[in-house]
């Protein structure tokens, strides 16, 4: 699951990248307003963390442009402590949530989970599909109540498919969202991964759409 980090303070950006990576996301960082707008407009992210004080192009302007262009990617804005005006403006411009700096990584992750979930239309951090239950908080998947250990990549794959259930996901999309666009593999690594996940979670969770990709059945979204 890819997340765009638009933050010009290198230290904060590095912290964010690390925290996100450890939480299982793919973090892609930009430090410049123009870049941020371009990436957010052309790439598909699960969420965007946006600092309002970017050079070259202001965060609020970026956000407005995205929304005017029809982009509904959930956006979490970072604001300076106590600046209420900024927060209100941000919400008005279409932000899904805000977080005052300095912040705790854990809180950021919680809010991020929240807006990602909201945008996907789910209500809780636990999703059940048939016998399979996925708990984002524990980063744990269970089958009929029995916890099943998944490796990091297996978990990423499973959670991405489950979060986008009811929709066909192409191998290319999986590749990009599991590994990040920079180092996409051209082998059948995804297929192998799919196989391993099926072996652990049962063969019925993930269906193959020959020639198109994979799909987890669910609410017809």
Residues numbered 7-66 forming contacts with DNA, rule: CB under 7 A = none
The listed partner (DNA, its own copies, none) that binds 103, CB under 5 to 8 Å by sort, is its own copies
Closest distance of CB 41 from its own copies, Å: 29
Choose among 73, 22, 80: nearest CA to 49: 73
In Å, how far are 97, 118, 134, 143, 158 from 127, measured between CA atoms? 22, 13, 5, 12, 12
Pair of tokens at residue 107: 């809180």
117 scored as a contact of its own copies (CB under 8 A): no
Angle between helices 59-68 and 84-93 (to 10 degrees): 20
166 scored as a contact of its own copies (CB under 8 A): yes
Cβ–Cβ < 8 Å for 74, 96: yes
Choose among 189, 161, 159: nearest CA to 175: 189
Q: Quick one: which segment of 36-44, 60-68, 170-178, 197-205 binds its own copies (CB under 8 A)?
A: 170-178
The listed partner (DNA, its own copies, none) that binds 189, CB under 5 to 8 Å by sort, is DNA
The listed partner (its own copies, DNA, none) that binds 187, CB under 5 to 8 Å by sort, is DNA
Can you tell me which of 193, 201, 205, 216 binds DNA, judged by CB under 7 A? 193
Pair of tokens at residue 131: 């016998």
102 scored as a contact of DNA (CB under 7 A): no
Can you tell me which of 56, 92, 118, 172 binds its own copies, judged by CB under 8 A? 172
Residue labelled with tokens 């048939």: 130
Choose among 187, 186, 200, 193: nearest CA to 214: 193
Residues numbered 137-176 forming contacts with DNA, rule: CB under 7 A = 149, 151-154, 171
210 scored as a contact of DNA (CB under 7 A): yes
Rounded distance between C-alpha atoms, residue 85 and residue 89, angstroms: 6
DSSP notation for 58-101: -HHHHHHHHHHTT----EEEEEETT-HHHHHHHHHHT-SEEEEE
105 scored as a contact of its own copies (CB under 8 A): yes
Site of interaction with its own copies (CB under 8 A): 11, 18-19, 22-24, 87, 100, 102-107, 110, 137-140, 149, 151-152, 166-168, 170-173, 176, 209-213, 215, 220
Site of interaction with DNA (CB under 7 A): 149, 151-154, 171, 179, 185-189, 191-195, 198-199, 203, 208, 210-213
């Amino acid at each position: 699951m890819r997340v765009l980090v638009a933050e010009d303070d290198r230290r904060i950006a590095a912290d964010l990248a690390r925290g996100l990576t450890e939480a299982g996301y793919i973090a892609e960082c930009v430090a410049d307003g123009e870049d941020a707008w371009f990436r957010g407009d052309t790439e598909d992210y699960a969420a965007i963390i946006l600092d309002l004080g970017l050079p070259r192009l202001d965060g609020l302007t970026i956000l407005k442009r995205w929304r005017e262009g029809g982009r509904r990617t959930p956006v979490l804005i970072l604001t300076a402590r106590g600046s209420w005006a900024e927060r209100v403006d941000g919400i008005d411009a279409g932000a899904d949530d805000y977080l005052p700096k300095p912040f705790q990584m854990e809180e950021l992750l919680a809010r991020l989970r929240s807006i990602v979930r909201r945008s996907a239309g789910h209500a809780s951090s636990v999703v059940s599909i048939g016998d399979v239950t996925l708990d984002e908080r524990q980063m744990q998947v269970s089958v009929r109540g029995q916890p099943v250990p998944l490796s990091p990549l297996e978990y990423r794959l499973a959670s991405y498919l489950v979060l986008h259930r009811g929709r066909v996901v192409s191998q290319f999309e999986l590749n990009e969202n599991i590994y990040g666009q920079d180092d996409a593999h051209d082998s059948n690594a995804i297929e192998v991964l799919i196989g391993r996940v099926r072996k652990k979670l049962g063969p019925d969770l993930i269906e193959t759409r020959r020639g198109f990709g994979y799909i987890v059945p669910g609410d017809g979204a």
